[in-house]
Amino acid sequence: MSEKTALKLHPGDNVAIVLVNVEAGAPLSPFDIAAQTQIPRGHKAAVCAIREGEDVVKYGQIIGRASTDIAPGAHVHVHNVSMAEFDRDYAYGQHAKPLEPFTAADRATFQGYRRPDGKVGTRNYVGIVTSVNCSATAARLIAREAEKRGLVDKYPNVDGVVPIIHGAGCCIGTDDEAFYKLQRTVWGFATHPNFATVLMLGLGCEANQIPLMLEVYGNPPKEQFRYYTLQAEGGTRKTVEKGLEWLEQALAYANEATRETIPASELTVALQCGGSDGYSGITANPALGHAVDLLVRNGGTAALAETPEIYGAEHLLTGRAQTRDVGEKLVDLIHWWEEYAAKNGSTMNNNPTPGNKAGGLTTILEKSLGAVAKAGTTNLAGVYKYGEKITAKGLVFVDSPGYDPVSITGEVASGCNMVCFTTGRGSCYGNKPAPSIKIASNTPMFDRMNEDMDINCGTIIDGVETIEEAGRRIFDEMLAVASGKRTLSEQLDVGDAEFAPWQTYAQM
Amino acid sequence: MSEKTALKLHPGDNVAIVLVNVEAGAPLSPFDIAAQTQIPRGHKAAVCAIREGEDVVKYGQIIGRASTDIAPGAHVHVHNVSMAEFDRDYAYGQHAKPLEPFTAADRATFQGYRRPDGKVGTRNYVGIVTSVNCSATAARLIAREAEKRGLVDKYPNVDGVVPIIHGAGCCIGTDDEAFYKLQRTVWGFATHPNFATVLMLGLGCEANQIPLMLEVYGNPPKEQFRYYTLQAEGGTRKTVEKGLEWLEQALAYANEATRETIPASELTVALQCGGSDGYSGITANPALGHAVDLLVRNGGTAALAETPEIYGAEHLLTGRAQTRDVGEKLVDLIHWWEEYAAKNGSTMNNNPTPGNKAGGLTTILEKSLGAVAKAGTTNLAGVYKYGEKITAKGLVFVDSPGYDPVSITGEVASGCNMVCFTTGRGSCYGNKPAPSIKIASNTPMFDRMNEDMDINCGTIIDGVETIEEAGRRIFDEMLAVASGKRTLSEQLDVGDAEFAPWQTYAQM
Ligand SMILES: [Ca+2]
Ligand SMILES: [Ca+2]
Ligand SMILES: [Ca+2]
Ligand SMILES: [Ca+2]
Ligand SMILES: [Ca+2]
């Protein structure tokens, strides 16, 4: 059998990705056709005849329409594909499909922490969350002193003490969405199920008042939440001392938590891509998408985010929206982003650039499909603001920038108890308290950064496994990591420095 | 002698601050007058007759105009004071006064570090500066491993290893002022004279490219600057290992630096207030202002910042501008801020609020004078963008928000090698690499937070010393700290978590 030179991403596709530069006449193995012309690596070839006006289908999705008859083996690109007209129609829910859930007997489980309020954690950390930068050092000093004294080692069920610190929290208005965003984010971490218990530290006079959060969200039980302010306690050292006293009790309390068998429906996985390359959309992303389909069929939840990455192709998601209301919420976000970008002198337009086109991306739909591929194929069940608590099961969307740490901070604040992160160029990301599985799009990068990359999906291009096989592997890894298997970023102790709340206010 | 119940802030003032609630007829000691009516604590009393139309003078500055004849001992407030009309006139440089520099023989010196490029440091740190959040953990892991191995202890002349990390650096446009702001800030730290040498760490694919900074600012000598990216080095562990190899050399290099006698003209002091109270404007701020006058008369530099805090009273500074150009730069900033606030749904209007008025603040001029008091009385010699290198000597202005960590990050990036920070409610701020002297406005707070407050100016209200005496004490402390005396925040090891670049871009 000759070497594989082309790859069909979905059974319903009428184009395949060409994996190497091919000359006219070269076989497009494993298909029984030859290239009609020279076709560059990463570009598309027709795997059957496509008549003028017919849909061009990749990822099982329409990416455009044939503007002329296309022969099998022909190069498919801007010269013979035009944008389909349906792309301006949000078609709310018209492409939604019934879910095929696994039967109760087939449903996956993992070993997780069931919290007193019913929420489920995949890790058992103790958190020190700050309302403002002015209390950041006190939080870090408590965690550092705990490390020096070896406190955590005495409590084998506790994963660690995590200071959640940031540069924000004051000199901002307190009555608009920009403020609520920060408030939700800080509070989302303070009540995250991967924390057994949390101490919140403030300065005292900051705009992001702790008592105001308690007023808005309610005051959790004392075993799970306490707060101090530096001004009330008399400064740094006294607060650190008091924090260390709290910590002894907190660690003892957290240590009582034990893992138990939990249905996979309690997993809420943050989806992310960063440092994408030409392979992301055809290997790591669709493989993760398959894992997400498995998760959703198990009753679980996956959160797509990174609103700028779906811009211009939002109808791909509105068409899959469970209800019209869900679809409209997504469109409202899109409009908000247009205004946000414009008033800051930026633009949302991510139409295929000359570089994208040279790489083989023909339409904005194709580009966005690569990003959206990591969300799988199920219906869109909910749309949430940045840091807003996710309440739906299934595939949901959380508004956020594309920038990895800021985006994941919002997803985790929204309740994600695990992260799956695809990358082509390589990432050293990690999160606390949410374990993060990093998935490589190509083998050379996986090999080069093998101490940071948990999973290789370059195997799909290498011909070692199919998208479905890689997806199954990712899903199994989700369950293993949720049950306590430590990711590479956890082994490296990454995650204390990656809390980065999205700041959309004027900093006064 | 009866207890002091009133305080004149400047010899030229025709009003005094009443220090306790007084009844009609009560003596306003040490003045030979009695209160005409009840006057609340913190409000003003006339210390001489002020005729209708005459200026009302506090801090040696006009705060308004008498709207009726005012008798000695009368309560001076909104009922008998109106806003002076000159406040709409920028009067560029019209109130500039010739400086009275100290003679060469009287000039102060300190023990500082003269760097190869001629710049002067007050500390001798080794820095690990990050271009993007994606390399934050690698920077922290290098610093942590150095601590674990006791590396710094081997080099007695080195103050420590400082990771400069943040949440920004990617998914932003790279051709506008918002980006240049970030670039200047990161580069300002990377080349700060309080660092003997710096390693910069990036991920590799971030928008804030390290090679781009080298292109814009030039590549410093290898002994003072190196950079690695995680993608090129093959991930976290390999980069940390390489960073630790670099660190051994860097510490040895840094350890060769020694303190030498340096004129005070090489000091550049960042001015800041945070958590202000009713006393800030009459104790800590004017005392710091006196110290700044001494510094400037020694040929040194002090940077006022916090643009929103001077809004509405910018003519107080334009009138003292050394040149028309300097004054116009300040007014340009004010216009930028109006737009920035408006487009983000905020407002710049900080006219005295009902709370301010109840506290005794009569006009916006009086309010702003309290904040500006910390800048002393000399001419405004330069106006700089956030993080822009300060090149003038004397009193300068650096554009920034009022929020302490974000403001000081800009001041230090602009080249300040020390910080003086006044506070009424209490602050636990510290900075690396710039030592920060914290100055309390009142004795009860100083006593309560005595492990964080370096200097008490509550003494001025307590009748223990004059503004000038307290100012002299602050100036002496500047020289001592510049020479190596460790501030309380340094003893507590505060400053690793306070780097907070101002983000004015749309985060995409
Ligand atoms: Ca443990
Ligand atoms: Ca991303
Ligand atoms: Ca030392
Ligand atoms: Ca203020
Ligand atoms: Ca401030």
The answer to whether residue A100 is domain-embedded is: no
More confident residue, B9 or A431: A431
CATH number of the domain encompassing residue B24: 2.30.130.110
The answer to whether residue A99 is domain-embedded is: no
Q: What confidence tier does A84 reach under pLDDT thresholds 50, 70, 90?
A: low
Residues B342 and B431 in one domain: yes
Q: What confidence tier does A347 reach under pLDDT thresholds 50, 70, 90?
A: confident
Across the beta sheet with B6-7, the strand order is B6-7, B15-18, B44-46, B75-76
Q: What confidence tier does A10 reach under pLDDT thresholds 50, 70, 90?
A: confident
What's the confidence (pLDDT) of residue A4? 86
Average pLDDT over residues A372-387: 96
State the distance from the centre of ligand 4 to the C-alpha of B427, rounded, in angstroms.
Answer: 12
CA distances from B507 to A344, A398, B172 (A): 9, 15, 6
What's the confidence (pLDDT) of residue A278? 83
The answer to whether residue A102 is domain-embedded is: no
More confident residue, A356 or B187: B187
The answer to whether residue A499 is domain-embedded is: no
Contacts of A230 in chain B (CB under 8 A): 426, 428, 449
Cα separation, B331 vs B479, whole angstroms:
33
B435 within 8 A of B419, measured Cβ to Cβ? yes
Segment 204-233 of chain B within 8 Å of chain A by CB: 204-205, 230-231
pLDDT digits (tens, 9 = 90+) for A50-78: 999 999 999 888 889 999 999 999 999 99
Residues A231 and A186 in one domain: yes
Residues A66 and A154 in one domain: no
The fraction of chain A above a pLDDT of 70, given in percent, is 98
Across the beta sheet with A109-114, the strand order is A120-121, A109-114, A260-263
What's the confidence (pLDDT) of residue B357? 83
Cα separation, A206 vs A216, whole angstroms:
17
- Cβ separation A141–B493 shorter than 8 A: yes
The answer to whether residue B97 is domain-embedded is: no
State the distance from the centre of ligand 4 to the C-alpha of A233, rounded, in angstroms.
Answer: 22
- Cβ separation B203–A496 shorter than 8 A: no
Q: What confidence tier does A211 reach under pLDDT thresholds 50, 70, 90?
A: very high
- Cβ separation A345–B497 shorter than 8 A: no
Residues in chain A: 508
Cα separation, A75 vs A57, whole angstroms:
14
CA distances from A191 to A144, A164, A223, A300, B50 (A): 22, 12, 12, 20, 60
Average pLDDT over residues A201-226: 97
Computed over every residue of chain A, the mean pLDDT equals: 94
Amino acid (1-letter code) at residue B373: A
Residues A282 and A430 in one domain: yes
Long-range own/partner contacts, residues B32-35 (CB < 8 A, 24 or more apart)? B33/B72, B33/B73, B34/B73, B35/B73, B35/B75
**Is any Cβ of chain A less than 8 angstroms from the Cβ of B234?**
yes
Q: Which residues pair with B58 in a beta bridge?
A: B61
Contacts of B497 in chain A (CB under 8 A): 133, 136-137, 140, 165
Residues A341 and A240 in one domain: no
User: H helices within A426-506, ranges in order?
Assistant: 443-448, 459-462, 467-482, 488-492
Q: How many CA atoms lie within 13 A of A17 on its CB side?
A: 25
What's the confidence (pLDDT) of residue B353? 74
Cα separation, A195 vs A434, whole angstroms:
10
Residue B37 lies in domain: 1-89
Segment 260-319 of chain B within 8 Å of chain A by CB: 274-275, 308
Residues A344 and A460 in one domain: yes
Cα separation, B465 vs B471, whole angstroms:
10
Q: Which residues pair with B129 in a beta bridge?
A: B164, B200
Q: What is the SS3 assignment for A79?
A: coil
The residue assigned the tokens 């003494």 is: B459
Contacts of A401 in chain B (CB under 8 A): 171, 507-508
What is the DSSP code string of A134-159?
GGHHHHHHHHHHHHHTTTGGG-TT--
Residues in chain B: 508
- Cβ separation A497–B137 shorter than 8 A: yes
Contacts of A428 in chain B (CB under 8 A): 134-135, 137-138, 203, 230, 235-236
Out of A133, A341, A489, whose CB is closest to B405?
A133
The answer to whether residue B452 is domain-embedded is: yes
Give the helix/strand (H/E) hosting B219: none
Q: What is the SS3 assignment for B287?
A: helix
Amino acid (1-letter code) at residue A91: A
Label each residue of B335-365 as H, E or C.
HHHHHHHHHCCCCCCCCCCHHHHHCCCCCHH
Name the minimum distance, in Å, from the CA of A15 to any CA of chain B: 31
Residues B143 and B29 in one domain: no
**Is any Cβ of chain B less than 8 angstroms from the Cβ of A174?**
no
Residues A270 and A192 in one domain: no
Examine the pLDDT at A88 and tell me if it is beyond 70: no
Residues B283 and B404 in one domain: yes
Cα separation, A122 vs A398, whole angstroms:
20
Q: Which residues of chain B have pLDDT under 50?
A: 1
What does the CA dihedral A60, A63, A69, A72 come to, rounded to 10 degrees? -40
Q: What confidence tier does A354 reach under pLDDT thresholds 50, 70, 90?
A: confident
Last residue of a domain, one of A255, A288, A310: A255
Cα dihedral sign for A138, A140, A143, A146?
Answer: negative
What is the number of domains present in chain A?
A: 3
Q: What is the SS3 assignment for A437?
A: strand
Residues B216 and B318 in one domain: no
Nearest CA in chain B to A340: B506
- Cis preceding-peptide flag for B211 (omega within 30 of 0): no
Nearest CA in chain A to B507: A401
Examine the pLDDT at A222 and tell me if it is beyond 50: yes
Examine the pLDDT at A350 and tell me if it is beyond 70: no
What's the confidence (pLDDT) of residue A1? 44
Last residue of a domain, one of B230, B255, B280: B255
Tokens matching residue B244 = 């630790």
Contacts of B402 in chain A (CB under 8 A): 171, 508
Residues B45 and B115 in one domain: no
Out of B203, B449, B503, whose CB is closest to A428?
B203
Average pLDDT over residues A140-147: 96
**Is any Cβ of chain B less than 8 angstroms from the Cβ of A406?**
yes
Average pLDDT over residues A426-441: 98
Last residue of a domain, one of A255, A277, A294: A255
**Which of B451, B432, B431, B481 has its CA nearest to residue B440?**
B451
The answer to whether residue A166 is domain-embedded is: yes
Average pLDDT over residues A85-91: 68
Nearest CA in chain A to B308: A508
What angle is formed at CA B403 by the lines to CA B402 and CA B408, rounded to 5 degrees? Answer: 90
CA distances from B135 to A393, A427, B236, B270, B371 (A): 34, 9, 8, 28, 38
The answer to whether residue B314 is domain-embedded is: yes
**Is any Cβ of chain B less than 8 angstroms from the Cβ of A91?**
no
Residues B330 and B196 in one domain: no
CATH number of the domain encompassing residue B164: 3.40.50
Q: What is the SS3 assignment for A333?
A: helix
What does the CA dihedral A451, A454, A458, A462 come to, rounded to 10 degrees? 90
Average pLDDT over residues A339-351: 85
pLDDT digits (tens, 9 = 90+) for B80-91: 999 755 556 789
